[in-house]
Structure 1
Amino acid sequence: MTQPASLITTEQLAAMLGAPDLRIYDCTTYNEPVPQGSDVPYIAVSGDKTFAAGHIPGADFLDLQGEFSDTSVRPFFMMPMTAQLEAAFGRHGLDASKTIVLYSIGTMMWATRFWWMLRSLGVDAHVLDGGFDKWKAEGRAIETGAPKGYPASSLKAAPRAGFFVDKSAVMAGIGDPATVIVNALGPQFHRGLEPSRYGRPGRVPGSVNVPAATLVNSADKTLTTLADAEAKFAAQGVTRDKTVVCYCGGGISATIDLFLLTQLGYDKLTLYDGSMGEWARDPALPIETD
């Protein structure tokens, strides 16, 4: 199996540098621990400082929680209104006519989150396999300093329905034989064996576990093969005839699952944006543990 066009290699990107319609974006955010007793799961910190310390030549920086999230709701990183995104992406020179490459540091999930957001707006983008970690490890060219940005553009979204769902849709999917709910968190959190920073330990009842971490090669942070991903999803009963609802802690790491499912040809996919950051805190919602 070959990886489809949504995934781009470091070799391919290196050969494209300097192309006039190329738009490269560092999407990095960091989740830092909170003081004991805090009622938030983590502190989201912009990756602008690591961007300044080193980035792919010509890249711009996208601040997920700064410009591209709905900050009026409690769970972090919630999808904002289309108009907000059109304006924010336009300020960064992004529109559907450009070749868009997204990457992040430490984990690809920040890039795949932006990829999923853009797809929901009708804009297709590429994700750099292995991200900046692989690029740097290969000794490729690096720039430093603040982002220079790109000339502003006008993004006209063509929203695609069904990319994001809320807790009521997840509730409706519990026990539905035509739906499979997939938890992308680690098995210890899925099973409720460890305290959860999101609230009550456990999972959405009936959900299966395909941890995002198992879909990534730890050595170079690239995605696993499509054959391996297919086997992991199939083992959990994830099939193409079912509607697949993915979730995690904050709607970020689950986009790695969604990215690979998309590459495998699954087309009935959605993200529970609130994820456990919302579900575990709401005592009216059922939760399941081993």
Structure 2
Amino acid sequence: MTQPLITTAQLAAHLGDPNLRNYDCTTYNEPVPPGSDVPYRAVPGDKTFAAGHIPGADFLDLQGEFSDTSAQQLFMMAGVPQLGAAFGRHGADASKTIVLYSIGTMMWSTRFWWMLRSLGLDAQVLDGGFDKWKDEGRPVETGAPKGYPATTFKAAPRAGLFVDKTTVKARIGDSSTVIVNALGPQFHQGLEPSRYGRPGRVPGSVNVPAATLAKADKTLTTLADAEAKFAAQGVTRDKNVICYCGGGISATIDLLMLTQLGYDKLTLYDASMGEWARDPALPIETD
């Protein structure tokens, strides 16, 4: 299996590789008026891409091209035909070395990593993202994306990497499963109002916030530290692990760390609290 993380030094050494496909995956969540049907507005990071990006990179618009725009929730996983066509337009396929990065937080690149993984392709995420790349004084290019030659993306879907609310509800109280909330503790405990709907968490879920898995320089924490954080919440290798967050984005940081640690029974509740908190038929728990 391809290692899910790549360092800035490793990427810099391969910038001239004709087989490299490097993608900026940045999205920004902007506030919406109270009472809106969505918790935030998804804005693609094309402007910050134009202002500066890793030389040769292309830009991927998560909500615009790579999500099910007919769904009520933002960022819902699209069908294989849509995703295959979109990745093919951007020159991605199994014969290429695919590196994903984002600005501000790695969660946008880890989301694409998990999506590609579900389609049978093991990509790599740039540890620390564009922030670390810039901080190190590495080369930066400006302007609109030039893109890569189109390919035919042949998906080899892996089952079970995404689950829905029915599966999550059925696993509550199941001793073979641990459900992990990647949101901050104040939201996990229901101590603050939630932009997703009812405050609180999926009953019985434990809390390993994605934010606690990153260091000040935006790189991910050490494997030993991550292992300790998950173990403290009862996340062990014999368990089936379901991760969730607000919109199925930051939870993919948890999933990447767990993959690095050798866990293999992993899945993502795609709609997460954006669906769960708004459905009065689903149970919710607070402290």
TM-score (structure 2 length as normaliser):
0.99
- Which segments of 5 or more consecutive residues in structure 1 lack a partner in the other structure? none
Residue pairs, 1:76-225, within 5 angstroms: 76-217=74-215, 219-225=216-222
Q: In the alignment, what sits opposite 2:49?
A: 51
Q: Number of residues paired by the alignment?
A: 286
Cα distance between partner residues in 2 of 1:165 and 1:183: 14
- Residue 170 of structure 1 aligns to a residue in which SS? helix
Identity rate of aligned residues, in percent?
84
**Residue identity opposite 1:277 in structure 2:** G
Query: What do the CA deviations read for 1:177-220 (whole angstroms, capped 9, x no partner)?
Result: 00000000000000000000000000000000000000000x21
- Which segments of 5 or more consecutive residues in structure 2 lack a partner in the other structure? none
**Which one of the candidate residues 260, 271, 279 is aligned to 2:276?**
279
Q: In the alignment, what sits opposite 1:15?
A: 13
Cα distance between partner residues in 2 of 1:103 and 1:28: 8
- Residue 135 of structure 1 aligns to a residue in which SS? helix
Q: In the alignment, what sits opposite 2:225?
A: 228
Cα distance between partner residues in 2 of 1:112 and 1:45: 18
Cα distance between partner residues in 1 of 2:36 and 2:174: 36
How big is the shift at 1:35? 2.0
**Residue identity opposite 2:279 in structure 1:** D
Cα distance between partner residues in 2 of 1:242 and 1:64: 30
Cα distance between partner residues in 2 of 1:90 and 1:211: 33
Cα distance between partner residues in 2 of 1:37 and 1:82: 33
Asked whether 1:75 is paired with 2:83, we answer no
Query: What do the CA deviations read for 1:257-290 (whole angstroms, capped 9, x no partner)?
Result: 0000000000000000010000000000000000
Cα distance between partner residues in 2 of 1:37 and 1:159: 37
TM-score (structure 1 length as normaliser):
0.98
Q: In the alignment, what sits opposite 1:253?
A: 250
CA RMSD of aligned residues (A): 0.7
How big is the shift at 1:25? 0.1
How big is the shift at 1:38? 2.4
Query: What do the CA deviations read for 1:38-72 (whole angstroms, capped 9, x no partner)?
Result: 23210110000000000000000000001000011
**Which one of the candidate residues 22, 25, 31 is aligned to 1:27?**
25
How big is the shift at 1:173? 0.7
How big is the shift at 1:36? 3.0
**Residue identity opposite 1:196 in structure 2:** S
Cα distance between partner residues in 2 of 1:260 and 1:93: 27
**Residue identity opposite 2:31 in structure 1:** P
- Residue 204 of structure 1 aligns to a residue in which SS? coil
How big is the shift at 1:34? 1.1
Asked if 1 retains the 8 angstrom alpha-carbon contact of 2:223 and 2:261, the reply is: yes
- Residue 267 of structure 2 aligns to a residue in which SS? strand
